Structure 1
C-alpha cells in the first residue's frame, strides 16, 4: 500500500517535550555543580577591628633604676645549687627536697618548712618532669605550697653537665599552678575572682616571660618575685566525600594548635 505524506496540522507537542528534557538535564548539571563548587553562604558577618592597647600616660617615661648599668637582665643566670650533682641519667634521680634545701634563691621560710617533709604537713607537691628548654632532656618543675603565708613557690631546675641551677622562680598566691604549651611554660594564678597567666619561653639562659607582642620580658632572676581548642580540619576526597558527623571547613585548613598539658591535673 502506498503511503502519502501527512498533510494535517504540525504536531506542536514535540518542541515542548524537547525543551522540557533539555531543561531537566541542565537543572541536573547545575545541582551537581552546586555540591562541589562555590555556594552562596548569605551575607558575610561584619568584622570588628581588633582591640589595641591605649596607654593612659603616653608621654610618661618611668625612672631609670639605679642598677641600670649592670648586666642585661635576660642574660643573668641563677646561682648554681651547690652541694647537688646532676645524675648522669637526668634529674629524675635527683632529690627534690635537697635541691630546695641547697638552692640559695629559695626563701628561708620554705627551707625551714622542709623539715616537715615527708609528712602530712609537707607542702611539697610531686615533681613534674618536662622539656621546657628544647634540648631533648627533661627539666624538673617543683612547687611548694605555704598555706601559713598564702603563697606558692614554683621553681624549674635544669642540669648543665654535673651542675644544677634554676632557670625560673615564680612566687605567687596560694594555688599557683601551670601547664606546658608546646615547649612554653604557662604559670596561672587565681586571686580576687580573676585569673592571671604568664607564659615563659627559653631564651638560651633562663625562662623569660613572653609579652603579648611576642617579645621577652625581664625574667625574675635572681630573686623570686610575686608574679578553647579549635577542632582539626577534616579533609575530603572526590571518591569518598566528607565523613558523616564531621564538619567540612569552607576554605583552607586550620593549623593544629600546640599541645597543652597540665602540670598538676589533680590540683
Structure 2
C-alpha cells in the first residue's frame, strides 16, 4: 500500500508524544494548567423602553442616497476624463441654484485663479470598471462640497453630494474617508462613504466622532452636517 505524504509524519508525532509523557512522568503538578477563576457571564444587549413605538420616518434628511442626472453635458466615449469638472459643476449649479447659491457666482467666474472647483480625482468608486469622478468645491466659511459622478446607462449621474467643514479627504480603495471639524473643540468627525449597489449611490456607511487633542481654529464655524 502506498503511503501518502500526509501520513508520514504521524509515527514521528506518536514517538514525540511518548517521549514527552516519559519525561514529565515525575514532574508532578509543576507546569500544569491552573484555574484562572470563574468565567464572567456573557451579557447580551438589553432592549430599553420596549413599549416605545418604532419610528415611521427619519428625523432629518441628510441627502444620503440621492442621485441626479446631469443634463446638458456630453461625455465623449463615456470617459469622464474627457470632461472638464468645472463644466459638470456649472451644470449642477444651473439645475439647482437654490442648493448652490453660496458658490454660484464663484463657479460662474471659472476658470479664474480663484475658481473654487478643485482638480478632479478619477477612481472606480462603483466597482464596475471605468473610472468615476470625485470633485471638491470650496465654499464660504471653510466649507466644501464633495461630489462624485459616474457614467451609466448613457447618462452622467451625480452619486454623492456632501457639504461639510472638511479638514481633508482620503481614498481608501473605493471608500471616500472625510475628516471634518466637529462642534466640540479637540474632536473631529470622520465619515466613510461607500458605493451601495442597491441604492446606486454613495452612502455614509460609517460616521464617528474622534478625539484629536488639537483645538479647533476659533473662526471655523460649527460644521453643517448635510
Query: Equivalent residue for 1:153?
Result: 145
Aligned residues: 168
Aligned CA-pair RMSD: 4.0
| CA 1:136–1:114: 2 relative to 1, 3 Å | same
Alignment counterpart, residue 113 of structure 1, candidates 93, 96, 106: 106
In structure 2, do the counterparts of structure 1 residues 201 and 174 end up closer, same or farther at CA, with 3 Å as the change threshold? Answer: closer
How far, CA to CA, are the matches of 2:106 and 2:46 in structure 1? 45
- Identify the residue that residue 206 of structure 1 maps to in structure 2: 201
Question: Aligned ranges for residues 169-248 of structure 1 at < 5 Å?
Answer: 169-175=161-167, 177-191=168-182, 192-204=185-197, 205-211=200-206, 226-227=225-226
Q: Is the 8 A contact 1:145 1:174 kept in 2?
A: no
Report the TM-score when normalising by structure 1: 0.51
1:1-267 to structure 2, matched below 5 A, reads: 63-65=55-57, 77-88=66-77, 90-103=79-92, 104=95, 107-146=100-139, 148-175=140-167, 177-191=168-182, 192-204=185-197, 205-211=200-206, 226-227=225-226
Deviation readout 1:65-90 (Å, 9 max, x if unpaired): 499xxxxx98x652211101222151
> Given the superposition, is the C-alpha separation of residues 153 and 53 from structure 1 closer, same or farther in structure 2, using an over 3 Å criterion?
farther
Equivalent residues of 1:131, 1:137 under 8 A apart: yes
Task: Name the CA distance, whole Å, in 2 between partners of 1:54 and 1:122.
Answer: 53
> Which secondary structure does the structure 1 equivalent of 2:114 belong to?
coil
Structure 1 residues without counterparts, runs of 5 or longer: 1-39, 41-51, 68-72, 213-224, 228-267
Larger radius of gyration: 1
How far the C-alpha of 1:57 sits from its partner, in A, is: 7.2
Q: How many Å apart are 1:161 and its aligned residue?
A: 4.0
Query: Are the equivalent residues in 1 in contact too, given 2:90–2:108 (CA < 8 A)?
Result: no
In 2: Cα distance, 1:55 partner to 1:111 partner: 48
Aligned-pair CA distance for 1:162: 3.1
| Higher percent of residues as strand | 2
Note the residue ranges of structure 2 that are not aligned, 5 or more in a row.
1-30, 32-43, 208-223
Q: Deviations over 1:39-94 (max 9, x none)?
A: x9xxxxxxxxxxx9999977655753499xxxxx98x6522111012221510111
After alignment, is 91-100 or 202-211 more displaced?
202-211
**Shift of the alpha carbon at 1:226?**
2.6
